[in-house]
């Protein structure tokens, strides 16, 4: 740490200048507000002219020309805007120094180099420079309200940046940042997988159309041959059917025709049985039956009786041919070039999204090395799919998309495992921080309650001094709310507990309610009772958190290979979660009774309705936590014999 502070002395100076500049601007803005509000300091105003004084011509104001100094008055807006612009330049210089120093320390002091890069990444993600520019523009227009709000948010971000740069617990901060980055990558990857799955299903349907088209073409060719044969049979039998008496030659022709008709019937039967070519149809069935009648008649040497069924069989074959031709045309329309072009375009877009995920994964370093290989494979398979679609080959493209989808899922699994590994490493530290945070919140809450009780009589008498002191107590209560939110963020990011975020949210909401009451000058017994309830809840939460296991994942399952100690820790974790849910449900139940009792009083209906809606939200949180616990850990709970 000392080495880092020595090396960034210039950066620290830049940082100090930045803070002082903000303080100066804020002070200037305060003075400007006072002027606008009619304080002691008064702006220069034009004095009425003395009638006895000689008439004076107003000074002529000129704009500055090249190499000249203009005599235009410098307004307050100009001054504030200029000073904000200076701060913008100092922040820009700070970012540049952080980057250059990080590069210089990369090999010698990788930890300090990472610290600077984390800070630089935070500054750029929070758009600090951009927001400073917006504040400058607001100041230039003397829009002090917007500028003050923007600067307040900027100061909070600058303080957070300072914490990142000077934090003594960099390892925890860096692992949290890395966990955030992995989860952001997973969210982006999940969207890519969903899109690739959709495109793979579409190309699969198109590939099925390709097979269908090939089968229809084969069926059409077979039908054309059958129609040709049946046409020849009808043509050969027509003159025979007109003769009253058949000679030996005609009888031989009838016998030959019967053999040919039987062959055509067998071909029709085979086509009807071929499922790959479309299978049986009413037309083919009808044609086969009519051909059988014709064969029977020819076997009796009765060509005149065979002619009508032969003609009907021909009509049925032609009808089937028309239907097949229509289906073939529809299949061709479904496989037009525009559709393949659209599939190619969609695949190109998703490959671009995959490249973005790969770039995000590359930034994870060793944490994403294995996943990066799978993403590279996925990108290559997608490129091959694009080529196949460009050649109107849906089947080949579908196969490549299947490979891409498998590689993407492998990458997702690798990143999820890495995120879980990091979260598991963080949980012990998180438990420590949550315990310390709850302890500090409890101490602050006790102090707030004691101070509220002490100020109660004075507030009741309307003492201005007591009311002013109570306003300060409200700010201390607000710090408790902020601390609860900070713990919620850490717990959710590390997935330390299932019900704990909901319990912390309940504490946060309760402290916010107390804070509002204190700020409104309310130090009544109801407020003190609420403060005591918060204390009791914090004590119970501390007891439950102390029992929670910090070694195992919330997704861990009891398996036969686990040791008895591991199974016992996992069971204790589930018990702790159930205790937390019971605590939440108990508080909601008690609050429900309290609100129900107020319904008969002269309380405003709107206030009661708001309280009921709040309870509804709390109950929904408890239900969600219970369902999540049942879904993720239900298999771990021993079932009765």
pLDDT of residue 9: 40
Residue 31 tokens, joined: 């003075």
Q: For residue 627, give the 3-state DSSP assignment.
A: helix
What dihedral do alpha carbons 604, 607, 608, 613 form, nearest 10°? 160
Q: How confident is the model at residue 328 (pLDDT cuts 50, 70, 90)?
A: confident
What CA dihedral angle connects 551, 554, 559 and 565, to 10 degrees? 30
Give the integer Cα–Cα distance in Å for 438 and 480.
Answer: 9
Quick one: three-class SS letters along 332-359? HHHCCHHHHHHHHHHHHHHHHHHHHHHH
Q: Rounded to an integer, what distance in angstroms lies between the CA atom of residue 455 and that of residue 363? A: 55
Q: What is the mean pLDDT of residues 227-233?
A: 93
More confident residue, 212 or 282: 282
* 91-144: pLDDT as tens digits: 888 888 888 888 887 777 766 776 787 778 878 888 888 888 888 888 788 787
| Distance separating alpha carbons of residues 274 and 279, to the nearest angstrom | 5
DSSP H or E stretch at residue 139: helix 128-140
Which residue, among 17, 14, 22, 12, has the nearest Cα to 150 in the 3D structure?
22
Q: Do the beta carbons of residue 381 and residue 400 sit within 8 Å?
A: yes
Q: Count CB atoms within 10 A of the CB of residue 436.
A: 11
**What are 499-528's pLDDT values in tens digits?**
888 889 889 989 998 999 999 999 999 899
What pLDDT shows up at residue 13? 45
pLDDT at residue 2 greater than cutoff 60: no
What average pLDDT does range 561-583 have in this prediction?
Answer: 75
Per-residue pLDDT tens digits for 288-302: 999 999 999 999 989
Whether the pLDDT of residue 380 is over 90: the answer is yes
632 half-sphere exposure, CB direction, 13 A CA radius: 18
pLDDT for 70: 52
Structure tokens at 100: 């250059």
Collapsed DSSP state (helix, strand, coil) of residue 487:
helix
496 near 431, Cβ under 8 Å? yes
* CATH fold of the domain at 2-36+75-168: 1.20.120
pLDDT at position 35: 39
More confident residue, 38 or 225: 225
42 CB contacts (<8 Å, ≥6 apart)? 35
- In the prediction, which pLDDT does 597 show? 77
**Predicted local confidence at residue 156, as pLDDT:** 81
Question: What local confidence, expressed as pLDDT, does residue 73 receive?
Answer: 65
Angle at which helix 464-494 crosses helix 170-242, to 10 degrees, equals 50
Rounded Cα distance between 125 and 127, Å, is: 5
Tokens of 598: 């107020």
Contact 301, 251 (CB under 8 A): yes
CA nearest 162: which of 392, 8, 275? Answer: 8
Mean pLDDT over residues 534-550, rounded?
85
Decide if domain 217-331 falls under CATH 3.30.1310: no
Q: How far is CA 6 from CA 12, 83, 163, 165, in A?
A: 9, 28, 17, 13
Q: What secondary structure letter does DSSP report for 59?
A: P
pTM tops 0.75: no
Work out the pLDDT band at 638, boundaries 50, 70, 90: low
Q: What is the pLDDT of residue 587?
A: 81
Average pLDDT, whole number, for the chain?
80
Q: In 10 A of CB 145, how many CB atoms?
A: 10
Mean pLDDT of all residues in 259-267 = 93
Say whether pLDDT at 476 is over 70.
yes
The rounded distance, in Å, linking the Cα atoms of 400 and 384 is 6
pLDDT at 199: 93
Give residue-wise pLDDT tens across range 10-27.
444 444 444 445 545 545
Could you give the CA distance from residue 531 to residue 510 in angstroms, rounded to a whole number?
Answer: 8
Residue 337 has pLDDT above 60, yes or no: yes
What integer pLDDT is reported at residue 444 of this predicted model? 95
Nearest to 190 by CA among 320, 369, 353: 353
**Bigger pLDDT: 497 vs 222:** 222
Tell which wins on pLDDT, 504 or 632.
504
- Each domain of the chain, given as residue ranges in start order, spans 2-36+75-168, 181-207+336-412, 217-331, 425-636
**pLDDT value at 394 more than 50:** yes
pLDDT digits (tens, 9 = 90+) for 479-489: 999 999 989 98
How confident is the model over 249-258, as a mean pLDDT? 90
Q: Do the domains at 2-36+75-168 and 217-331 have one common CATH topology?
A: yes
> How does residue 168 score in pLDDT terms, banded at 50, 70 and 90?
low
Average pLDDT of span 311-339:
86
pLDDT at 371: 92
SS3 assignment, position 370: helix
Contacts of 23 (CB under 8 A, 6+ apart): none
Instruction: Give the model's pLDDT for residue 278.
Output: 67
- The answer to whether residues 544 and 576 touch, using CB atoms and an 8 Å cutoff, is yes
Task: Give the whole-number percent of the chain exceeding pLDDT 70.
Answer: 80
Give the whole-angstrom CA distance, residue 121 versus residue 189: 21
pLDDT in tens, 410-436: 999 999 998 888 888 888 888 888 999
């Amino acid at each position: 740490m000392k080495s880092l502070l020595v090396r960034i002395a210039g950066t620290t100076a830049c940082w100090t200048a930045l803070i002082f500049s903000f303080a100066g601007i804020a002070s200037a803005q305060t003075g400007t507000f006072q002027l606008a509000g009619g304080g002691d300091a008064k702006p220069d105003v034009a004095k009425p002219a003395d009638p006895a004084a000689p008439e004076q011509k107003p000074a002529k104001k000129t704009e500055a020309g090249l190499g000249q100094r203009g005599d235009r008055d410098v307004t307050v807006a100009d001054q504030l805007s200029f000073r904000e612009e200076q701060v913008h330049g100092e922040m820009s210089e700070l970012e540049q120094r952080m980057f250059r120093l990080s590069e210089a320390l990369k090999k010698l002091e990788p930890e300090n180099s990472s610290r600077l890069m984390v800070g630089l990444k935070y500054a750029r993600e929070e758009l600090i420079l951009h927001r400073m520019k917006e504040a400058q523009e607001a100041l230039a227009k003397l829009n002090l309200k917007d500028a003050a709000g923007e600067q307040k948010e900027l100061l909070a971000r600058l303080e957070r940046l300072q914490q990142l740069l000077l934090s003594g617990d960099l390892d925890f901060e860096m692992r949290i940042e890395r966990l955030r980055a992995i989860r952001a990558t997973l969210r982006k990857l999940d969207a890519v997988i969903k899109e690739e799955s959709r495109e793979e299903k579409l190309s699969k349907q198109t590939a099925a159309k390709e097979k269908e088209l090939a089968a229809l073409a084969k069926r059409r060719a077979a039908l054309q041959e059958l129609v040709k044969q049946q046409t020849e049979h009808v043509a050969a039998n027509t003159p025979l059917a007109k003769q009253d008496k058949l000679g030996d030659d005609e009888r031989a022709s009838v016998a030959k025709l019967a053999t040919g008709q039987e062959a055509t019937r067998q071909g029709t039967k085979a086509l009807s049985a071929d499922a790959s070519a479309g299978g049986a149809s009413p037309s083919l069935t009808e044609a086969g039956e009519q051909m059988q009648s014709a064969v029977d008649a020819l076997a009796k040497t009765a060509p005149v009786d065979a002619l009508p069924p032969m003609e009907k069989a021909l009509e049925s074959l032609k009808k089937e041919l028309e239907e097949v031709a229509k289906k073939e045309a529809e299949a061709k329309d479904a496989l037009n070039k525009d559709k393949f072009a659209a599939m190619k375009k969609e695949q190109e877009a998703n490959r671009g999204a995959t490249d973005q995920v790969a770039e995000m994964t590359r930034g994870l370093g060793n944490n994403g090395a294995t996943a990066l290989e799978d993403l590279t494979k996925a990108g290559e398979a997608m490129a091959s799919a694009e080529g196949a679609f460009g050649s109107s080959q849906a089947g080949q493209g579908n196969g490549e998309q299947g490979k891409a989808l498998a590689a993407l899922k492998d990458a997702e699994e690798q990143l999820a495992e890495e995120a879980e590994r990091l979260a598991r490493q963080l949980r012990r530290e998180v438990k420590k921080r949550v315990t310390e945070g709850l302890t500090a919140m409890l101490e602050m809450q006790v102090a707030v309650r004691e101070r509220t009780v002490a100020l109660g009589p004075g507030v009741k008498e309307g003492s201005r001094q007591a009311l002013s002191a109570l306003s300060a107590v409200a700010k201390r209560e607000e710090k408790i709310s902020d601390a609860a939110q900070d713990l919620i963020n850490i717990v959710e990011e590390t997935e330390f507990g299932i019900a704990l975020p909901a319990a912390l949210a309940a504490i946060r909401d309760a402290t916010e309610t107390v804070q509002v009451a204190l700020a409104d000058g309310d130090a009544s017994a109801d407020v003190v009772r609420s403060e005591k309830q918060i204390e009791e809840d914090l004590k119970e939460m501390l007891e439950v958190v102390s029992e929670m296991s910090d070694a195992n994942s919330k997704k861990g399952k009891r398996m036969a290979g686990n040791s008895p100690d591991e199974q016992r820790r996992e069971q204790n974790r589930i018990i702790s979660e159930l205790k937390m849910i019971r605590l939440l449900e108990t508080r909601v139940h008690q609050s429900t009774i309290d609100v129900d009792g107020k319904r008969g009083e002269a309380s405003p209906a709107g206030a009661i309705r708001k309280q009921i809606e709040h309870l509804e939200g709390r109950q929904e949180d408890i239900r969600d936590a219970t369902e999540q616990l049942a879904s993720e850990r239900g298999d771990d709970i021993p079932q009765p014999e």
